Structure 1
Amino acid sequence: MRDLAVTQNITVDGVIEAGDWFGPADGGPEVLEALREQMARADGFLTGRVTFEQMRGFWPTQTDDPTGISTYLNKVHKYVVSSTLQEPGWAPTTVLRDLDDVRRLKEAAGGEIVCTGSIDLTHQLIAAGLVDEYRLFVYPTVVATGRRLFPEAQKLCLQSCTSFPSGVALLIYRHR
């Protein structure tokens, strides 16, 4: 069975909604290295349709990306959960129609599956008990408004904590 890890950039007050409070290089080279380590372990990248379309409109056209994110995203197998998307237009991509398809994907052989962004999908995955691990890059920012990662109470067990010179901390949790 494959682990499904939710990786999110998050503020100290729990907001994951995109805004101008972070950028790919804001955490410094150490955060980028931690991201690269996670990318090396994952052979599946899971998103919802909106996040997928936003990423598809940006990452494939990046030709001078020192972070390595564009190279990873262009080659990793992407899975997009959508009831309406017909032709993904970014290979290799498989369209999953619902959470039952996500369950079957987790049961198949392979490496880790990572879900990033996709707030609505992430909330559905949490509610369905499909998330095995949370990798939270906590930025030293409070924004006071915006959508939060957890829609309801959760009991988690801290697996590791890494702090970076930029003030960002990587907290890894699993369910108790």
Structure 2
Amino acid sequence: MRDLVVTQNITVDGVIEAGDWFGPADGGPELLEALRKQMARADGLLTGRVTFEQLRGYWPTQTDDPSGIASYLNKVQKDVVSSTLQDPGWTPTTILRGVDDVRGLKDTAGGAIVCTGSIDLTHQLITAGLVDEYRLFVYPTVVATGRRLFPDGSPQSLRLHTSTSFPSGVTLLIYRHR
């Protein structure tokens, strides 16, 4: 069974979606290296339709990307959960019609499946008990409003697996279920 890993950029107060608080370059070169290591361990990317369309609209055209993110995203198997998307237009991509299809995906052979962005999908995955690991890049920012990682009524019992602090002030916290 493959691990489903939720990777999110998050504020100290738990917000993952609110305005313009996040800049991917804010983490510095050490954080970028941590991202590269994560990409090397995952062979699947899971998103909802909106995040998928945002990624598809940007990354395939990035031909001079020293970070390696464009190369990874253009090659990795992408699975998008959507009831409306018909033609993904970015290979390799498979359209999944719901969370039950994600259950089936976890039962296939392969490495970790990473879900990033996609707050509505992330909430569905948490509620369905499908998340094995949380990789949280905690930014030293408090926005005091916005959508949070964990939906109301979804208590979690987690254990800290590792933590890494970066010179930028960002901390990577990796949690697994107990």
Provide, for residues 63-86 of structure 1, a one-character-per-residue CA deviation record: whole Å limited to 9, x for no partner: 221211111100000000011111
Aligned residues of 2:18 and 2:145 also touching (Cα < 8 A): no
Q: Secondary structure at the match of 2:17?
A: coil
Deviation of the 1:19 alpha carbon? 3.5
Tell me the distance in 2 between the aligned counterparts of 1:70 and 1:9: 18
TM (norm. structure 2) is 0.96
2:159 equivalent to 1:165: no
Q: Taking structure 1 as reference, are residues 19 and 32 closer, same or farther at Cα in structure 2, changes over 3 Å only?
A: farther
Tell me the distance in 1 between the aligned counterparts of 2:4 and 2:92: 19
2:159 equivalent to 1:138: no
Provide, for residues 84-118 of structure 1, a one-character-per-residue CA deviation record: whole Å limited to 9, x for no partner: 11100000000001111101100000111000000
RMSD of aligned residue pairs (Cα, Å) = 0.9
Tell me the distance in 1 between the aligned counterparts of 2:18 and 2:6: 15
Letter in 2 for 1:165: P
Aligned residues of 2:82 and 2:96 also touching (Cα < 8 A): yes
Q: Which runs of 4+ in 1 moved over 6 A?
A: none
2:55 equivalent to 1:29: no
TM (norm. structure 1) is 0.97
Identity of aligned residues (%): 84
Aligned residues: 176
Structure 1 residue runs without a partner (length 5+)? none
Structure 2 residue runs without a partner (length 5+)? none
Provide, for residues 39-75 of structure 1, a one-character-per-residue CA deviation record: whole Å limited to 9, x for no partner: 0010000000010011111111112212111111000
